[in-house]
């Protein structure tokens, strides 16, 4: 590992990567939304007084049965909630965005950075100034009254004319669901548009019974047909322009890319979860661009939600995926979401097709497409920091690990909710409890976008937390030497560069929350940009192995462009 001076020895990186399509930065919400209450991220005086008083002993902080009361600003409104429900590619998001565009102020909350990016671009193009805000990005536009954000960044402290929560069925997700619940209960908008699968309707109705909101429905039908094919793909020579091959392991993605490119007819863009978001965006853009030679996409389910790509046919290379614990078959919603990327209305391909590489998988594909998604039973929930803080006042000896464990084991919930899976946070908590940090700092590190299954990423977090605890200031150069990044020469080196990108990304994330203690955001951002350009250069070089002279010429042209792009960062 050239550039990261992580103290402990990093063993070889044999971790099996799951590509579950979730954004790397999609850790739980940004505290500051709730935390405008006081200087130290909002542990307000009111709460301090309250938590010092004898009332704390009588109050059960693990009682999470009325989460709608956590958001007084939203509760002061009688929101008009419009449920846009229907299958993929039916215009749900399109119609909700039309309302957003025409409102004097608004916020779009999406599950993916790519979607937030697409929406901010669209609004700005329509002359509606719109900020883009994700965990690690703040692109502010002069005079903007609109924001496009990843759902974890949903703002529950401001007033909006209109809000959109896209892919609302994600509130049933074990790890990220609670951020959707928070946005659903907490956004103070006159109009709240919820887009998603009809499987979420009964649950949303139940949840909103206690908020006093007015609920309306708009049901949608697919705008263009999706045809499940009766035959599998067959040999790779049957691949054609506009195809997207879906697989769930990083290794398979690169193998497929190479196999297809070796055929000499196509170049492949790739999109998967652990690629830097900006690289994913550029790879998707390149595939979407008819004038680019990258006419085939090889992707994980990172493309599976809401995105509008020029895909004519989805080909499942497998119908099973490793979900972090075990290999399992794809669920009905997963199959529908992924298949729904083919033949988007208004794209180059008016009819979408879907098939598998393996004939044995066709029956599962067919049955999944024909079945309705199972109705959602409950939504994710997670205690606010204030509740944890008050609980900690009663149990001053408990570390954050014990506090989290206590909430997970003892939280009282109504039937509409389940407590979020916070195993990842608890892995971080175990490390942090060794350090002399306050509860809030620990909480902040716990919700940061670290990937604890990635050794480099988790050691980056440990070093940031240790240096922060020791000195109160963390200089990037203490663990990173700028100028040492290189184009990866092997898949292992590529993976390492992706991990380095994650550490730099973590630094940027922390710098937005602990500005004075993490002062090198500019340097971290520029090194991040170099990482993603080097990764892209590696991806393009894979393409050059292709024995097509005309493509070679084109690619070397784009390489010099890439080098120029890099020079501005170096
Ligand atoms: N009335 C319309 N006029 C023009 N284009 C439209 C219209 N409705 C939808 N579209 C286009 O059709 C495509 C699919 O629409 P949209 O993204 O809203 O579907 P969706 O139902 O949200 O799909 P998903 O469930 O996959 O998110 C988009 O490119 C959108 O711009
Ligand atoms: Mg949509």
pLDDT digits (tens, 9 = 90+) for 203-225: 999 999 999 999 999 999 999 99
- pLDDT value, residue 277: 85
419 pLDDT band (50/70/90 cuts)? very high
CB 524 within 8 A of CB 511: yes
Q: How would residue 566 be classed by pLDDT, with cut points 50, 70 and 90? A: very low
What's the rounded Cα separation, in Å, for the pair 452 and 424?
7
Of 15-19, 141-145, 156-160, 424-428, minimum mean pLDDT range: 15-19
Could you tell me if 514 and 525 are in contact, meaning their C-beta atoms sit under 8 angstroms apart?
no
pLDDT category, 35, cuts 50, 70, 90? very low
Burial annotation 79-110 (CB, 10 A radius, 16+ → b, else e): bebbbbbbbbbbbbbbbbbebbbebebbbbbb
pLDDT, residue 211, reads 97
Q: 205 CA distance to ligand 2 centroid (A)?
A: 20
Please report the pLDDT score of residue 5 as a whole number: 52
Higher pLDDT residue, 233 or 20?
A: 233
CATH number for the domain whose boundaries are 67-219: 3.40.50.300
CA-closest candidate to residue 278, choices 537, 569, 529, 23: 529
CB of 189 closer than 8 Å to CB of 160: yes
pLDDT band at residue 556 under the 50/70/90 scheme: very low
Mean pLDDT of 370-375: 94
Backbone angles phi, psi at 380, to 5 degrees: -70, 150
Check pocket membership of 195 for ligand 1, CB cut-off 6 A: yes
What is 462-503 written as a DSSP string? HHHHHHHHHHS---GGGTB-TT------SHHHHHHHHHHHHH
Mean pLDDT on 426-441: 95
- What confidence tier does 543 reach under pLDDT thresholds 50, 70, 90? low
pLDDT of 28 strictly over 60 = no
The CATH number of 31-39+379-567 is: 1.20.272.40
Residues 6 or more apart in contact with residue 430 via CB below 8 angstroms? 401
Token pair belonging to 194: 């919820």
CB-based burial label for 12 (10 Å; 0-12, 13-18, 19+): exposed
For β-strands 267-271 and 417-419, DSSP reports them as: unpaired
The model's confidence at residue 554, banded by pLDDT at 50, 70 and 90, is: very low
What ipTM, to 2 d.p.?
0.99
**3-state DSSP helix/strand/coil percent for the chain, to nearest 5?**
45, 15, 40
Q: Is 349 in the pocket of ligand 1 (CB under 6 A)?
A: no
Q: Does residue 560 register a pLDDT over 50?
A: no
Rounded distance from Cα 306 to ligand 1 centre (Å): 9
Q: How far apart are CA 162 and CA 173, in angstroms?
A: 25
Summarize pLDDT for 390-410 with one digit per residue, the tens.
999 888 889 999 999 999 999
Q: Which of the ligands is closest to the CA of residue 220?
A: 1
Q: What pLDDT digit, counting tens, does each position of 486-496 carry?
A: 999 888 899 99
Residue with the smallest CA separation from ligand 1 atom 8 is 91
Return the exposure string of 471-480: e unless at least 16 CB atoms fall within 10 Å of the residue's CB, then b: eeebebeebb
- pLDDT > 80? residue 545: no
Q: What is the mean pLDDT of residues 25-31?
A: 40
34/530: higher pLDDT: 530
What is the model's pLDDT at position 483? 83
Distance 308 CA to ligand 1 centre (A): 8
What whole-number percentage of the chain has pLDDT above 70?
A: 85
For 371, the token pair is 């079945």
Let me know if the fold of 67-219 is the same as that of 226-370.
yes
Q: Pick the residue with more confidence: 262 or 543? A: 262
Considering every ligand atom, which ligand is closest to the CA of 309? 1
Ranges 10-19, 112-121, 446-455: which has the least confidence: 10-19
pLDDT at 278: 85
Residue nearest to atom 10 of ligand 1 (CA): 91
pLDDT of residue 37: 28
The pLDDT of residue 324: 76
- Among 21, 223, 288, 350, residue to substitute to test ligand 1 (most atoms within 8 Å of Cβ): 223
pLDDT at 236: 93
CA 205 / ligand 1 centre spacing (Å): 24
Lowest mean pLDDT among 5-9, 72-76, 403-407, 506-510: 5-9
Percentage of the chain beyond pLDDT 90 is: 72
pLDDT tens digits for range 279-314: 988 999 999 998 999 999 999 988 888 788 999 999
Q: Which position has the higher pLDDT, 274 or 128?
A: 128
Domain ranges within the chain, ordered by starting residue? 31-39+379-567, 67-219, 226-370
Strand duo 159-165 + 106-110: pairing = parallel
Give the per-residue pLDDT at 547: 46
Q: Dump the DSSP string for 209-272.
A: TTTT-EEEEEE---SS-EEE-SS---SGGG--TTEEEE-S-HHHHHHHHHHHHHTTS-EEEEE-
- At 565 the pLDDT is 37
CA of 224 relative to ligand 1 center, distance in Å:
10
Pairing between strand 379-381 and 417-419? parallel
Query: Which pTM was predicted?
Result: 0.87
Question: Yes or no: is domain 226-370 CATH 3.40.50.300?
Answer: yes
């Amino acid at each position: 590992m050239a550039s990261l001076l992580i103290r402990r020895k990093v063993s070889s990186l044999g971790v099996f990567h799951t590509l579950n399509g979730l954004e790397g930065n999609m850790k739980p919400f940004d505290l500051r939304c709730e935390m405008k209450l006081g200087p130290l991220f909002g542990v307000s005086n009111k709460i301090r007084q309250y938590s010092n008083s004898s009332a704390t002993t009588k109050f059960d902080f693990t009682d999470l049965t009325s989460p709608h009361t956590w958001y007084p600003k939203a509760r002061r409104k009688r929101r008009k909630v419009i449920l846009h429900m229907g299958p993929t590619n039916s215009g749900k998001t399109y119609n909700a965005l039309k309302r957003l565009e025409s409102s004097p102020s608004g916020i779009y909350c999406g599950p993916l950075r790519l979607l937030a990016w697409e929406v901010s671009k669209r609004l700005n193009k329509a002359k509606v100034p719109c900020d883009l805000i994700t965990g690690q990005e703040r692109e502010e536009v002069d005079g903007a009254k609109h924001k496009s954000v990843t759902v974890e960044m949903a703002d529950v402290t401001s007033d909006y004319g209109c809000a959109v929560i896209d892919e609302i069925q994600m509130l049933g997700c074990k790890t990220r669901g609670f951020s959707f619940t928070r946005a659903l209960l907490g956004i103070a908008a006159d109009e709240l548009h919820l887009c998603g699968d009809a499987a979420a309707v009964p649950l949303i109705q139940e949840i909103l019974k206690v908020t006093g909101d007015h609920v309306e429905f708009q049901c949608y039908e697919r705008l263009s047909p999706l045809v499940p094919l009766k035959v599998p793909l067959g040999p790779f020579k049957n691949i054609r322009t506009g195809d997207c091959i879906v697989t769930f392991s990083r290794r398979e993605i690169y193998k497929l890319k190479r196999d297809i490119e070796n055929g000499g007819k196509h170049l492949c863009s790739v999109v998967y979860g652990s690629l830097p978001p900006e690289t994913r965006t550029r790879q998707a853009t390149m595939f979407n661009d008819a004038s680019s030679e990258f006419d085939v996409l090889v992707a994980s389910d990172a493309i599976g939600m809401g995105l509008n790509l020029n895909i004519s046919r989805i080909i499942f290379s497998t119908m099973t995926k490793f979900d972090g614990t075990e290999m399992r078959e794809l669920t009905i919603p997963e199959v529908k979401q992924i298949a729904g990327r083919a033949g988007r209305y208004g794209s180059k391909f008016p009819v979408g097709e879907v098939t598998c590489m393996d004939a044995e998988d066709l029956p599962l594909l067919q049955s999944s497409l024909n079945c309705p998604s199972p109705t959602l039973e409950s939504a994710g929930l997670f205690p606010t920091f204030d509740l944890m803080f008050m609980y900690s006042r009663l149990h001053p000896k408990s570390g954050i690990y014990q506090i989290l464990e206590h909430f997970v084991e003892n939280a009282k919930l109504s039937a509409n909710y389940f407590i979020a899976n916070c195993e990842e946070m608890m892995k971080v908590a175990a490390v942090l409890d060794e350090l002399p940090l306050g509860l809030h700092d620990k909480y902040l590190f716990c919700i940061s976008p670290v990937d604890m299954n990635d050794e480099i990423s988790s050691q980056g977090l440990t070093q940031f937390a240790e240096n922060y605890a020791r000195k109160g200031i963390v200089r990037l150069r203490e663990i990173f030497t700028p100028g040492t990044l290189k184009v990866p020469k092997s898949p292992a080196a590529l993976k390492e560069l992706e991990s380095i990108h994650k550490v730099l990304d973590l630094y940027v994330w922390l710098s937005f929350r602990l500005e004075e203690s993490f002062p090198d955001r500019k340097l971290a951002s520029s090194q991040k940009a170099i990482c993603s350009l080097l990764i892209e250069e590696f991806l393009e070089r894979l393409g050059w192995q292709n024995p097509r002279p005309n493509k070679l010429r084109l690619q070397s042209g784009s390489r010099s462009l890439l080098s120029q792009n890099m020079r501005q960062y170096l």
